[in-house]
Amino acid sequence: MSDADGDSPIDPVFCDARRFGSFASAGGWMFGLMVARSVYRDEQVAGRISVRAFAEEAGCAVDRVLRHWNAWQEAASDELVPDAGTLVPGADTELPEGDLWPKYYAAPGASSDRGQRVRAEAEALGASYKKALEITGHRPAMKAAIWGDHQTAEAAREALFSRPQERTATLARALADPDTRKAAKVEQKRVDHLEYVRRALEEKTAKSPAGQVVELGLSADELADERLNAIRDACPDAEAVEQAYDYVQELVERAVRADPDLYVREQRARFTRAFSATSRNIQSIDPDDLMAVADEALVDSLTDLQNRVNDLAATLRAVCA
């Protein structure tokens, strides 16, 4: 069986193909046209039905029909399509390119407070606010994109950490988990040690355990060491960083031991720090609190400490006499 002109069969498959082509090329404009030529807004128009009646017949929300009406009329104000009032029910008209539809069609939630905030942020970034609103309505899909795509995940991290309020809330939530706190400490150690090693390679100096700046005088062989080569990657793993850090510490220790004056200063600084820490800890003890838990074990421990301090003081006096 053929159509009236005998050009092609009257077959539902061919009808669907034609309809598919119309929708594919026009995008949302086809739906906008159906609404614009079929409904009335304020005053009843012969041959048309109300927005509510159209929505009930279509089995969708009234708000959705209104968004299509508003999009059509906004495009009409730009002279892109005819005004809805001039259209004849059931009659077609020339439609714009499909990719222009998103410019006029407001996604659900666009008029809400949240929608307005999303729009303001999108405009500030030069992004499509309608696409942003669409994303807010598909959170499982957004999560999948973050998990599955590195660049999307990086964009999400940048968004969360670029503003103090969001950064604080995100960190507080993450660090509430003990495993995350542990992982954060490990990562912070990796970052700190990596920075230490790379600075040592760049400046050819490094700080000793006592805080002294030590000239390393790195040789070609030392610079070519595989432990240092391993951290030249963009993001070396924790094991590679720790091996490189330990190697630089070895180089620092060699440099300290090779210079007698430097070795003496290093030892003096190390002892001074130890004495200061011990002094602060003892001075922080409240005698009243100590008396509340006093027993022979504590007395013996304190006596042993006092004897050790006296012995060290006597040794120093003998050397300095």
108 CB-side CA count, 13 A = 10
User: Is residue 279 in a domain?
Assistant: no
| C-alpha radius of gyration, the chain, whole number | 38
* 251 found inside a domain: yes
Number of domains in the chain: 4
pLDDT at residue 230, as a whole number:
83
pTM of the model: 0.49
Rounded CA separation 174/187 (Å)? 14
Q: Of 78, 104, 130, which closes a domain? A: 104
Per-10-residue mean pLDDT for the chain, 321 residues long? 49 77 74 93 89 92 88 89 93 88 70 72 79 78 91 90 87 88 91 90 86 82 82 83 90 88 88 89 89 89 92 88 72
With residue 133 as reference, give the H or E element that holds it.
Answer: helix 129-136
Residue 209 inside a domain? The answer is yes
- Cβ-in-10-Å burial (0-12, 13-18, 19+) of 251 comes to buried
User: In this structure, is residue 255 part of a structural domain?
Assistant: yes
User: Within a domain: residue 116?
Assistant: no
Let me know how long the chain is: 321
Task: Quote the pLDDT of residue 70.
Answer: 87
Q: Do residue 170 and residue 213 come from a single domain? A: no
Residue 4: the pLDDT is 45
Residue ending a domain, choose from 160, 176, 192: 176
Phi and psi at 31, nearest 5°, equal -70, -40
Shared domain check, 201 and 156: no
Residue with tokens 């942020």: 121
Cα separation of 290 and 279, whole Å? Answer: 16
Does a structural domain hold residue 113?
Answer: no
In a domain, 276, yes or no: no
Domain closes at, from 56, 87, 104: 104
Crossing angle of helices 178-203 and 238-258, in 10° steps, is 50
In a domain, 118, yes or no: no
Domain co-membership, 186 together with 170? no
Segments forming the whole domain that contains residue 82: 12-104
